[in-house]
Amino acid sequence: EILAAVEALLAPGAGPLAGRHAIVTSGPTHEAIDPVRYIANRSSGRQGHAIAAALAALGARVTLVSGPVALPDPPGVAVRRVESAREMLAACEAALPADVAVCAAAVADWRVAAAAGQKLKKVPGQAPPPLALALNPDILATLSAHPRRPRLVVGFAAETEEVVANAIAKRARKGCDWIVANDVSGDVMGGRENAVHLVTAQGVEHWPRLPKEEVARRLAERIAAALA
Amino acid sequence: EILAAVEALLAPGAGPLAGRHAIVTSGPTHEAIDPVRYIANRSSGRQGHAIAAALAALGARVTLVSGPVALPDPPGVAVRRVESAREMLAACEAALPADVAVCAAAVADWRVAAAAGQKLKKVPGQAPPPLALALNPDILATLSAHPRRPRLVVGFAAETEEVVANAIAKRARKGCDWIVANDVSGDVMGGRENAVHLVTAQGVEHWPRLPKEEVARRLAERIAAALA
């Protein structure tokens, strides 16, 4: 896909997504407990970054809103780096309008209710106080109900059980168009391959286990067809 | 230091630490909340990995016990990969006996009291339950009081206030020989440089801001002198 991205760079007006703007979220978010501790979701960002690259390869202008990852920036993509879910939402809203939003980040559902400004001290022999949590904003639901809603909003669902049933319910609950669902009870997070189910208004497609780059390429082509 | 490490590999019997075994911990630990969420400390592992490389370059046999990091394995070092603090302690104890232990990892003080086997479900509109925490084992204190205690035990202290005073207190409390203290209120974690204070029984040395590799080289030389 590097070659394709280079081609897209060389011919920015070309490709089925030329003239389209895509927002892609990727990676985890980090929610501070104090200056040294945080809560996070497991996510390498590989799938989201691959989707950003695949959309750019089809000619889209891509804004990639990425949590902390150890990946290089995909070529030809504008990267906005964020830490927390609230920063990620703000960066997505700042990037609107867009034709499509793909929310592939593993956003932390919860943040710490009151992050400490100084490092919390361990008191020897004493159990730590429980950590009060607060609900984070729901980026997928917010973009799906946004006054400047992208025409196509795609969410991801990482499930450990009842993968497809949970994904169908999630699609309805969030108000998005498609859900890409995967079973993370194995070794998907951080791995190189992914077996996903694409849940749309038309039903459920089961895709074979594929390299994440190939999942991204197929999804980008489906997005191009939907926006055509 | 790559050249030095290669030289150490080519001449394993050479160097002031030849015949010595060093255990180095590095990186963060990840404490599972459920299969997709975890608590962690901010740590790139750069300082710990550099110390492992520097000790190997002086001829030591090095066991590097590393939490999840995005760094290559230092050449000539045996790497044990772990996730949690309990796994890190077990790997350190399994690596004993050793002449020196350098505990550079940013070990999570607390873990989640009862990690969930399935992904916790967010209940829309409902505040999440507080997260009950439990104290993790203290790897530095455990090694310092171990029946097979390394002759030299070195800890790290990441502080955001009262850096030296907290480090002096930490040295006494943990029972270790030296504390390498740094102020992490700036941008140390993940950064390339470090300004540290070396706290020993003899007093406190203030080292200038240096690349982490140079901090590692100086510390390795001090260790070699102490074990000579």
Each residue's pLDDT tens digit, B9-40: 555 568 999 999 999 999 999 999 988 899 99
Surface-to-core class of residue B16, CB atoms within 10 Å of its CB (0-12 exposed, 13-18 middle, 19+ buried)? middle
Q: Residue A209 above 80 pLDDT?
A: yes
**Structure confidence at residue A188 (pLDDT):** 52
**In terms of CA atoms, which chain B residue is nearest residue A42?**
B36
Strands (E), A48-168: 61-66, 78-81, 100-103, 110-112, 133-135, 152-159
| Mutation target vs B (from A29, A31, A37, A111; most B CBs, 10 A cutoff) | A37
**Structural Rg of chain A based on CA atoms:** 18
Q: How far apart are CA A61 and CA A78, in angstroms?
A: 8
**In terms of CA atoms, which chain B residue is nearest residue A111?**
B128
Chosen CATH of B2-112+131-227 out of 3.90.230.10, 3.40.50.620, 3.40.50.10300, 3.40.1160.10: 3.40.50.10300
Inter-chain CB proximity A36 and B122 less than 8 Å: no
- Contact of B188 with chain A, judged by CB distance below 8 Å, is answered with no
B119 pLDDT band, cuts 50/70/90, is confident
In one-letter notation, the amino acid at residue B72 is P
Q: How far apart are CA A133 and CA A50, in angstroms?
A: 32
Q: How far apart are CA B62 and CA A213, in angstroms?
A: 37
Q: Measured between CB atoms, which of B42, B134, B173 is closest to A38?
A: B42
Q: Measured between CB atoms, which of A129, A135, A184 is closest to B127?
A: A135
pLDDT digits (tens, 9 = 90+) for A124-143: 777 778 889 999 999 999 99
**Structure confidence at residue A3 (pLDDT):** 63
Q: Residue B2 above 80 pLDDT?
A: no
> Which residues in chain B touch residue A37, judged by CB atoms under 8 angstroms apart?
39-42, 108
**Strands of the A78-81 sheet, one edge to the other:** A78-81, A61-66, A21-26, A100-103, A152-159, A178-183, A196-200, A203-206
Q: Residue B159 above 90 pLDDT?
A: no
A204 pLDDT band, cuts 50/70/90, is very high
Q: Residue B189 above 60 pLDDT?
A: no
* Range B162-183 average pLDDT: 93
**Structure confidence at residue A2 (pLDDT):** 62
**Structure confidence at residue A61 (pLDDT):** 97
Q: How far apart are CA B76 and CA B72, in angstroms?
A: 12
DSSP-assigned letter for residue A106: B
**Structure confidence at residue B49 (pLDDT):** 98
B208 pLDDT band, cuts 50/70/90, is very high
Backbone angles phi, psi at B94, to 5 degrees: -65, -25
Chosen CATH of A2-109+130-227 out of 3.50.50.60, 3.40.50.10300, 1.10.150.450, 3.30.70.2860: 3.40.50.10300
Inter-chain CB proximity B189 and A36 less than 8 Å: yes
Cα B209 to its chain centre, rounded Å, is 19
| Mutation target vs A (from B31, B36, B83, B138; most A CBs, 10 A cutoff) | B36
**Structure confidence at residue A106 (pLDDT):** 94
- Contact of B130 with chain A, judged by CB distance below 8 Å, is answered with yes
Cα B92 to its chain centre, rounded Å, is 11
Q: Residue A162 above 90 pLDDT?
A: no
Query: Nearest CA to CA, how far is B132 from chain A (Å)?
Result: 5
**In terms of CA atoms, which chain B residue is nearest residue A185?**
B35
* Pairing assessment for the beta strands B152-159 and B100-103 based on DSSP bridges: parallel
* Range B55-81 average pLDDT: 96
- Count of beta carbons in the 10 Å neighbourhood of residue B200: 14
- Contact of B225 with chain A, judged by CB distance below 8 Å, is answered with no
Q: Which of B41, B136, B182, B194 is catalytic?
A: B41
Q: Rounded to 5, what percent of chain A is helix, strand, coil?
A: 30, 30, 45
Inter-chain CB proximity B110 and A133 less than 8 Å: no
- Count of beta carbons in the 10 Å neighbourhood of residue B113: 13
Q: Residue A7 above 70 pLDDT?
A: no
A8 pLDDT band, cuts 50/70/90, is low
Inter-chain CB proximity B185 and A161 less than 8 Å: no
> Which residues in chain A touch residue B135, judged by CB atoms under 8 angstroms apart?
122, 126-128
Q: Residue A76 above 60 pLDDT?
A: yes
Beta-carbon pairs below 8 A across chains A and B: 99
| Mutation target vs A (from B37, B49, B69, B133; most A CBs, 10 A cutoff) | B37
Inter-chain CB proximity A39 and B38 less than 8 Å: yes
Q: Is the peptide bond before A97 cis (omega within 30 degrees of 0)?
A: yes
In one-letter notation, the amino acid at residue A210 is L
Strands (E), A33-177: 37-41, 61-66, 78-81, 100-103, 110-112, 133-135, 152-159
Inter-chain CB proximity B127 and A134 less than 8 Å: yes
Query: Nearest CA to CA, how far is A12 from chain B (Å)?
Result: 33
Q: Measured between CB atoms, which of B35, B130, B132 is closest to A160?
A: B35
**Structure confidence at residue A156 (pLDDT):** 95
Domain ranges for chain B, please list them: 2-112+131-227
Q: Is the peptide bond before B97 cis (omega within 30 degrees of 0)?
A: yes
